[in-house]
Amino acid sequence: MAWALLLLAGLFEVAWSIGMKFSEGFTRLWPSLFTVAGIAVSMGLLSLAVRQLPIGTAYGIWVGIGAVGTAVLGMVLFHEPVTAARVFFVCLLVAAVVGLEATSSH
């Protein structure tokens, strides 16, 4: 159950990051509210997950999901550059997240 909460927390991490872009510096009401709600939900789910998971593992995976998801959506939604180097480093992040999960004691 803790892993599911952590995955969901990571997805909300992506959601609020993308929401921040849409909020245009918190100048648009609904995207700003969405962003703040996403932050709260993401942190709340992370706090529940770390009750059963090591904090270093959980935090690393949470950040990794957020970074990978945000980078990929940035390329898709905002037409950010898709270069071989960016794809390579996103893949390294995925490898790090998988490695943290695989080496976790839980």
pTM: 0.91
Which residue, 67, 57, 77, 81, is CA-closest to 6? Answer: 57
Residue 5 amino acid letter? L
Main-chain dihedrals φ then ψ at residue 103, nearest 5 degrees: -100, 5
Please check whether residue 41 is in contact with residue 47, taking contact to mean a CB–CB distance below 8 angstroms.
no
Per-10-residue mean pLDDT of the chain, 106 residues long, equals 97 98 97 98 98 95 97 97 97 94 82
Q: Residue 18: its pLDDT value, please?
A: 98
What is the domain partition of the chain in residue ranges? 2-102
Report the pLDDT value the prediction gives residue 106, as an integer from 0 to 100.
67
How far does Cα 87 stand from its chain's mean position?
17
How many whole angstroms separate alpha carbon 16 and alpha carbon 65? 12
